[in-house]
Structure 1
Amino acid sequence: MTASLSERIAPGVRAYLAGEIAAADGREVSFVAEIDRDGVVAGARVLAPGTGDMVLACPGALARGEMLLHNHPGGRLDPSSADLDVAARLHDAGVGFGIINNGATELYVVVEVPRDRPVTPIDPFEVIHALGENGGVAAELGQYEDRRCQRDMAAYIADGYNDGGVLLLEAGTGVGKSFAYLVPALAWARANGERTVVSTNTINLQEQLVGKDLPLLRRALGDGDYQPTFALLKGWRNYLCLARLHQAVAAQRTLLEQDKLDELIGVAEWSAHTADGTLSDLPVTPSPEVWDEVSAEPDLCPRLKCPHFDRCFLFRARRRAAEADVVVVNHHLLAADLSVRQAQDNWEEAAVLPPYKRLVLDEAHHLEDVAASHLGVQVSSRAVRR
């Protein structure tokens, strides 16, 4: 939203911002802004100068509760795609993002500084009702099967959301455990605006959650005031990289055998209409040799500088995850996220996954081996003798 000077920028700060922009000959400049309790820009300092149309964001240089500001020299304050991506990452880190004109008389707040909000407990009885005979889930299913164990499990989980701590629950086949943890997760998101990460071991369960259970619960629990959101997030190499695909099509025609070239052309045709750009969405799985040429690689990705960034399947998935009430991942991606957080001592901001405080581990008996491979230390007798 665009706000007038008197509403959002203190007069002294306005003069400072305008002066620094003028000193940079009207080029883009980024600032770290201090925001008071009323949301007014009460202080600012220069973070980095830019060029005529580009500025360094430096999100790691800001603390939670601050706002990153930069000017658009042309006067139009509409955020670009790059602005929106930076804003999403900053919001995950507890930082706001805004755009000003060169005179600092107008401010477009792309995302407000996230404020701590009081926790609203969820009612276990409402969770039980949602799963009961007269609840929204039964109405959506059509054929209702009473599962008392499911409702009991959901009530325990609702109490766990309210009280915090760790719950360890075991559910046999037929209990309906996914609904038992998803209904409280969505109730918590509705009440507190806080996401839950659900980690599983198998692709089949991920597809069940995202393709069947969560869409049904969105219809059953959504209303005019709230529509549940969810996202599936996978590792880098599961996503098609459009830049690498274009390079492969242009360069590999003479390097690939005919059958591999046919696979590559098939991937290129599929890329024009795929919804998520993931390997599992391909009607025919290509050979590893072909997929290695076109899959996303973190070390090769130019990120915001990529000409295909707006269409990038991986970063679109990350943006959806940053806004979702429930994010479904596998244990390997979760362990990779924890490994990065441990190395950076970062338990509040985005890492491999967006920030989260609530975690459901389904198929948790597989987690030990996965965690050991990502977080463990391997020691050999030979290394000890050295």
Structure 2
Amino acid sequence: MSNYQIAYAWDIKRSMIPTLALFEVPHEAPRTLTIGAKYDKTKRLYHVKPIEQSVDLSSLWEKMVSVIGDRPVFFSSYKNAHAQLGTILKEAGLTFLPFDQVIDLSWIKHALSGVAHLSRKPQKGMSHVAIADALASLPESTFALYSKNARTAAEREWFAHIADARILRTARFAQKMIQGLSFRNLEPIERAFEREDENTTKREEESLADQAEVILSERLPALHTFSYESRPSQRAMLRAIAHGLQNDEHVVAEAGTGTGKSLAYLIPSLLFAAQGGRRVVVSTHTLALQKQLIEKDAVNALQAIDQEISVTVMKGRNQYLCLRKAAHVIREIPSRREDDLTFALQTATWVTHTETGDREELSLSAEHGHLWREVQSETESCIARSCPFFRHCYYYRARQKAASAAVVITNHALVLSDIRTDHRVLPGYDYLILDEAHHLEELATQHFGAEVSEREIRRMYERLNASRGGIPDLLQSLRVRESSGHTESTPYLSVLTRLQDSMRQAVDAFRDVVLHAKNVFHRDEAEQRITKDLLLSPSYAPLTQSVLALGDTRSGLEAALRQYDNLSPSEDLDEMLYGRMQDVFGRGTEWLHALEVVADVLLLQKGEDAFVSWVTASRRPHGTDLTFSIAPLSVRHLLFDHLFAVKRAVIATSATLRSGGTFQYFLNQTGLALVDPPARVKTMVAASPFDYRANVLLCLPNDGPAVDDPAHLTYTARSIESIVDAAKGRTLVLFTSYQMMVECDRLVRANLEQKRLDLLTQGREGTQRHALIEQFRASERAVLFGVQSFWEGIDIPGSALSCMVIVKLPFAVPSHPVIQARSEHIKKQGLNPFVVYQTPQAVIRFTQGFGRLIRSTSDQGAVFVLDRRIADKPYGSIFLKALPNPTIARGSLSELIGQARKYFMAR
């Protein structure tokens, strides 16, 4: 069993014991409790500080219980910490605290992520006081919210003295309260956002490329704020991008790991935007890279340029908090259900310190992620200037900053949303940088398509029909106002009743659709494509009729929504009530769109020649759940028409854009091959500065079974055990199948634990991706199993990652409807889809995975590929040629492990 350390602190000002924290400590440490306190006059709380001497658990627990007395104890470490402590004490023959004296505050680590970093295990620079610091930062009004929610006498003792419960039930107080919690450092929006006039200035005689190179080669190293090493490939890339921006050319640049591509495009982009008065949008796929750009790379580039250049971040609207909705959630805290109460408290706490309203700051747990929809900003429910919080709106504040910025850092999803909405999302721009551009085709396929599940549609309906915050609640409020003589409520009552009736008819029709659909699509976890032949088959006829009937009910919904749109907003209607009307009808519009997707998919209403439609049947605890999906057959013309044909310069860069030594696959799939004249598209390769031949051993075992042999699973498991033993952990294992990853986990976990190796597996126990990576980075003997997203975006330099295992070559599943339809389309053109589509796609994915190992000049290690196709099949050479020239070793697994062991020992 693990050992634990327990810490506590108390608040002298409030005369109580607030915090009891439980931490795991190394196996070698004795099971003891440490006590000690240090008073910091700048904080409200006493801080725990371990003392040099420790006593046995029994003596210390007895002392702690006498100090605690009958006051409340707050657990602030991680979920179920109090249960684990109870087990430890029981094993030692000791008695735990009474149930109503224990209060679990583990949730607060999410809400306060911007104030203090909290961890399951104490880390360097961390102590037990982090949670105390976080609690100490909260204003009195936040404690008032908790006092209204007290579940036990102990909680009430801690929170009771702040506020009267009745004031939380009024909309006016909710508005006043939330405004008191927020905006401490924010200036209000004094005017609606506008696109800033593009003030042009004369460019200097010196070329942009020359200016940018001076910044990179001379000014940046002179900063001494970070370690910088000049790289010829980085300078070449910088000059190519500067030339492209200045001459209205598209540039496709593959930049190997370690090139420093971020600075290679940021420096010329910043200079170009400042000198020409033209806005440049910089887009990434991952939040991690976006964060790196805004917090590190852009800061360094701006310091080196030494000019006033405005840079801001713009995210999707749903990523921002709607203060009107948050006020409603906070006002309802006294009546929240147990299952979503934590989310309401997190939101209330977070509002006390956020300056951006960015969801990322909140770090919602997986179980509360879906509740974000209650407070997110949305176009459909926004009441704009009618909103009492408009002057402080986080979303409009972000838009205003973007409209006046020279450089806007955003993500690919928002760029694609801007295209879909005829460029109404981002401020106007003609110059675009696309980093992580190898994702462009896949993201465009998702973005120009649609997907909705049976469960989502049911949840949306339940939310609309909820007794609290839904249509029944709103009808009751309107009836009360009408009975009090407020006649302005009458037309709203009428249209809301019509919406409710239409929704009841529609949900009944949808249930009928689902019933018939499950008779057609019944293979668990299989994507089943819908074709014209299936649509015309006799077994499909009942489903067709039910979808047509659903269409009739959708007409009633559309009529109710139109009626609401035609109503003139009443000045006499309470602002909060009007906002709730917008919420309901906004959700109604969203629900209607979801039903339209179902019809589009099941009846091929967008055409089989242009779109692919399919249904996935997934087994859930409550039964089978259907997901309805539709995607464009090709996105190349969409991207060309709306991006490459209309933007003056687009720079597409990534570490992996080539396959077979050329860019042709990327150019074809994204529509860049359609640019006329072709000379307007420039391509270049910025080679990695790392010495892969000296630092990477690529091991290709030749004695394993074929990947389609049932024995390959057992072979993989035993191979992983041997490899990670040689590497002493420090290994990333990449799978192409989630099911195979789970099976391998089952086969190897016990053996790895016996060897004192920590196995971290994606998806196990709900641990989030970033948390797994941090645990892996912090551990000296860890093995990380991952699939899909773990093939890229992991940056672990140094000895923490010394070995990789690639279980199979990452070919897409050929039976997936999109892959299948696109392959059929390619065949009709007389081409081989495996050669021109599936293999290039897999090669790019493979090189991304391979790139996880070497992240700095001092890194070295070994990569094992357990798929014999890389050596035995003719196309295997394409994968090998795509790699940056590592040392390749072939032989039996045991021989290769021997070489790898010597290689690791050289570290």
Deviation at 1:253, TM superposition (A): 3.6
Per-residue CA distance 1:258-308 (angstroms, 9 max, x = gap)? x52133122112112112111111255471243121111211111122111
> Contact (CA 8 Å) 2:234, 2:259: kept in 1 or not?
yes
Deviation at 1:309, TM superposition (A): 1.2
1:208 corresponding residue in structure 2:
292
Moved more, 326-335 or 113-122: 113-122
Structure 2 vs 1, CA of residues 385 and 115 (structure 1 numbering), >3 Å: closer, same or farther?
Answer: closer
Q: Letter of the 1:307 partner, please give it.
A: P
Deviation at 1:138, TM superposition (A): 4.4
Give yes or no for the alignment of 1:233 onto 2:340: no
Q: Letter of the 2:261 partner, please give it.
A: K
Deviation at 1:251, TM superposition (A): 3.1
Give yes or no for the alignment of 1:368 onto 2:452: no
Distance 2:190 2:311 in 1: 23
Structure 2 vs 1, CA of residues 316 and 137 (structure 1 numbering), >3 Å: closer, same or farther?
Answer: farther
1:103 corresponding residue in structure 2:
none
Q: Letter of the 1:371 partner, please give it.
A: A
Give yes or no for the alignment of 1:84 onto 2:191: yes
Distance 1:227 1:359 in 2: 21
> Contact (CA 8 Å) 1:197, 1:358: kept in 2 or not?
yes
Q: Letter of the 1:359 partner, please give it.
A: L
Give yes or no for the alignment of 1:313 onto 2:394: yes
Distance 2:229 2:189 in 1: 48
Distance 1:256 1:227 in 2: 50
Give yes or no for the alignment of 1:156 onto 2:237: no
> Contact (CA 8 Å) 1:201, 1:366: kept in 2 or not?
yes
Matches within 5 A, 1:131-150: 131-132=216-217, 134-150=218-234
Deviation at 1:328, TM superposition (A): 1.3
Give yes or no for the alignment of 1:332 onto 2:405: no
Query: Residue 380 of structure 2: SS of its match in structure 1?
Result: coil
Q: Letter of the 1:269 partner, please give it.
A: T
Q: Letter of the 1:144 partner, please give it.
A: Y
Give yes or no for the alignment of 1:353 onto 2:426: yes
Q: 2:375 aligns with which of 294, 310, 332?
A: 294
Distance 1:140 1:194 in 2: 30
Structure 2 vs 1, CA of residues 361 and 272 (structure 1 numbering), >3 Å: closer, same or farther?
Answer: same
2:341 corresponding residue in structure 1:
261
> Contact (CA 8 Å) 2:208, 2:268: kept in 1 or not?
no
Deviation at 1:333, TM superposition (A): 0.8
Structure 2 vs 1, CA of residues 143 and 332 (structure 1 numbering), >3 Å: closer, same or farther?
Answer: closer
Cα RMSD over matched residues? 2.8
Per-residue CA distance 1:202-242 (angstroms, 9 max, x = gap)? 111111111111122222222xxx31221111111111111
2:354 corresponding residue in structure 1:
274
Structure 2 vs 1, CA of residues 380 and 335 (structure 1 numbering), >3 Å: closer, same or farther?
Answer: farther
Q: Letter of the 1:203 partner, please give it.
A: L
Distance 2:401 2:328 in 1: 27
Query: Residue 253 of structure 2: SS of its match in structure 1?
Result: coil
Structure 2 vs 1, CA of residues 303 and 147 (structure 1 numbering), >3 Å: closer, same or farther?
Answer: same
Distance 1:114 1:187 in 2: 15
Segments ≥4 residues shifted beyond 4 Å: 80-83, 113-122, 283-286, 376-380
Q: Letter of the 2:340 partner, please give it.
A: K
Moved more, 374-383 or 242-251: 374-383
1:34 corresponding residue in structure 2:
none
Deviation at 1:140, TM superposition (A): 4.3
Distance 1:285 1:120 in 2: 51
Deviation at 1:359, TM superposition (A): 0.2
Structure 2 vs 1, CA of residues 170 and 143 (structure 1 numbering), >3 Å: closer, same or farther?
Answer: same
Q: 1:128 aligns with which of 194, 203, 213?
A: 213
Deviation at 1:115, TM superposition (A): 6.7
Q: Letter of the 1:324 partner, please give it.
A: A
Q: Letter of the 1:272 partner, please give it.
A: T
Distance 1:291 1:385 in 2: 36
Query: Residue 199 of structure 1: SS of its match in structure 2?
Result: strand
Structure 2 vs 1, CA of residues 380 and 354 (structure 1 numbering), >3 Å: closer, same or farther?
Answer: farther
Distance 1:145 1:288 in 2: 42
> Contact (CA 8 Å) 1:197, 1:360: kept in 2 or not?
yes
Distance 2:244 2:415 in 1: 21
Distance 1:254 1:264 in 2: 11
> Contact (CA 8 Å) 1:178, 1:209: kept in 2 or not?
yes
Per-residue CA distance 1:86-135 (angstroms, 9 max, x = gap)? xx42x45xxxxxxxxxxxxxxxxxxxx65777776743112111111x22
Deviation at 1:184, TM superposition (A): 0.3
> Contact (CA 8 Å) 1:195, 1:356: kept in 2 or not?
yes
Query: Residue 135 of structure 1: SS of its match in structure 2?
Result: helix
Distance 2:397 2:221 in 1: 30
Structure 2 vs 1, CA of residues 142 and 255 (structure 1 numbering), >3 Å: closer, same or farther?
Answer: closer
Distance 1:210 1:301 in 2: 28
> Contact (CA 8 Å) 2:322, 2:377: kept in 1 or not?
yes
Unaligned runs of 5+ in 2: 1-186, 452-529, 536-603, 610-907
> Contact (CA 8 Å) 1:231, 1:326: kept in 2 or not?
yes
> Contact (CA 8 Å) 1:188, 1:194: kept in 2 or not?
yes
2:272 corresponding residue in structure 1:
188
Unaligned runs of 5+ in 1: 1-79, 93-112
> Contact (CA 8 Å) 1:120, 1:192: kept in 2 or not?
no
Query: Residue 129 of structure 1: SS of its match in structure 2?
Result: helix
> Contact (CA 8 Å) 1:186, 1:326: kept in 2 or not?
yes
1:303 corresponding residue in structure 2:
384
Q: 1:173 aligns with which of 257, 260, 265?
A: 257
Give me the identity figure in percent.
Answer: 34
Q: Letter of the 2:403 partner, please give it.
A: A
Deviation at 1:252, TM superposition (A): 5.4
Q: 2:303 aligns with which of 219, 224, 248?
A: 219
Query: Residue 328 of structure 2: SS of its match in structure 1?
Result: helix
Distance 1:172 1:244 in 2: 45
Distance 1:380 1:229 in 2: 51
> Contact (CA 8 Å) 2:188, 2:392: kept in 1 or not?
no
